Amino acid sequence: MGHTLVEKIIGNKVGHEVKPGDIVTVDVDWCMIDDIMVPFAVQKFEEMGFKEVAKPDSVVLIYDHFLPATQVDDSRHFRAGDEFAEKYGITRVHRTDGICHQLMTEAGYVKPGDISFGTDSHTVTYGCVGAFATGIGYTEMAGILGTGQLWIKVPETIRIEIDGTLPGNVTSKDIILKIIGDLTAAGATYQAIEFAGSTVDAMSVASRMTMSNMSVEAGAKCGLFAPDEKTCDYCKIPYDDSIKALTPDGDASYSKILRYRAEDFVPVCACPSLVDNIKPVSDLKGTKVNQVFLGSCTNGRLEDLRAAATILKGKHVAPYVNMIVTPASRKIYREALADGTLEILSDAGAIITTPGCGLCCGRGGGILTDDEVVVATNNRNFLGRMGTSKVKIFLASPVTAAATAIAGEIVEG
């Protein structure tokens, strides 16, 4: 009987075959702790009575939610992280480099086949390189810090196959939104999602990241892509037999298989206030917007900024509309400086902020008030996430976001 990708990754790690439902204890390759959760994880770690961190080199601390700090107590979190790192010999600390989920693969930590846990639900992003990665709470993180291990239940897998060529104004964001709409926000709970097909094969790693990132919005434990040559280029590793083996077997067993034709996708939005409330952009035409947000671990990468710049070049953001651009990392910011993308966006009137979580985490970066409407490229449109509970958040692709910024109302790019 064959294995799905997640069964192979976990099986490799524990050294024996596993099947859905098995509860196994795994050695953890990477622990990511973000600034919001640092003080809480440290507190739990100390309450648990550990004297040392089991594998300090596997721990990465990343300050991103509170950068730039907007409240007087924010820097307490940085200090807590710095003190913890110093005390326990943790050297991998990113203080101003960008969003945690971007950095974990971009900075060369997570590789195909690794098992990672992070104190943030979008840890699933690392599935883009064929790594098992999922979000946990700070208490479990404290346990891993002390033991280097965690128990997991091997999940069933939903396979999603997409074949064909996407329409020009459709991005991987539209695909994952459509899939979440079809699965519903709880449709993949406790399960792994495995993406495959010729459309996926043709995608950049950045586009895959968007889909892995949002798989948690369908409740998934992880969202995986089998690693290929592009993955290896991105991870700066050889495309060898060990990587090639990280492919699901033809006779693997799935809880569900969904098949899509790429040509059938259209630009969509997740409408207020649920991520699975999906509508075609064409149905929303004419919805006036006050702000557009381009950024986040979902869609703040160079290709996203470039897609927006292509549309905004020589044009201008609509009067009385703010367009906020928050690159996902320092590296992306610099690349977008070098290739002229930021200049185009600035010429078009965009407000370009320093890399970080920005508006997506709701502590700054363009908070809104009652009855305002925002089109955003991030991953959640929950009630109150970007201001008051009367703010209307529409999630969309960078293409839709850029076209909307120019028009001042929701339109297709």
Q: Which of residues 227-266 bind another protein (CB under 8 A)?
A: none
Is residue 353 part of the contact set for another protein (CB under 8 A)? Answer: yes
State which residue, 25 or 198, has the beta carbon closest to another protein: 25
Cα 326 to Cα 329: distance, rounded to the nearest angstrom: 9
| 243, β-bridge pairs | none
382 near another protein (CB under 8 A) = yes
Residues 6 or more apart whose Cβ sits within 8 Å of residue 92: 57, 59, 60, 61, 109
What gap in Å lies between CA 115 and CA 165, rounded to an integer?
32
Take residue 302 and report the two structure tokens written for it: 């160079």
Cβ at position 40, least distance to another protein in Å: 7
The reply on whether position 14 binds another protein by CB under 8 A is no
What whole-number distance in Å separates Cα of residue 306 and Cα of residue 291?
A: 19
Q: Is 384 in the site for another protein (CB under 8 A)?
A: yes
Binding mask 132-171 for another protein (x = CB under 8 A): --xxxxxxx-xx--x----x--------------------
The least CB distance from residue 250 to another protein, in Å, is 28
- Binders of another protein in range 36-75 (CB under 8 A): 36-37, 39-40, 44, 47-50, 65-75
Q: Under the criterion CB under 8 A, does residue 185 sit at the interface with another protein?
A: yes
Token pair belonging to 107: 């900075």
Q: Collect all residues with Cβ–Cβ distance below 8 Å to 263 and sequence separation of at least 6.
A: 164, 165, 166, 167
Residue 301 or 385 having the CB closest to another protein: 385
Nearest-CA neighbor of 360 among 121, 133, 151, 198?
121
Alpha carbons 49 and 266: distance in angstroms, whole number: 53
Q: Is 380 in the site for another protein (CB under 8 A)?
A: yes
181 near another protein, rule: CB under 8 A:
no
Residue 388 binding another protein, by CB under 8 A: yes
Token pair of 86, please?
Answer: 């110093």
Give the amino acid at 180. Answer: I
Binding-residue total with another protein (CB under 8 A): 90
Report helix, strand or coil for 157.
Answer: strand
Instruction: Quickly tell me which residue has 């965690």 as its tokens.
Output: 150
387 binds another protein (CB under 8 A): yes
Q: Minimal distance in Å, beta carbon 149 to another protein?
A: 12
Looking at 61, 192, 269, 352, which residue binds another protein (CB under 8 A)?
A: 352
Does residue number 343 form part of the binding site for another protein (CB under 8 A)?
A: yes
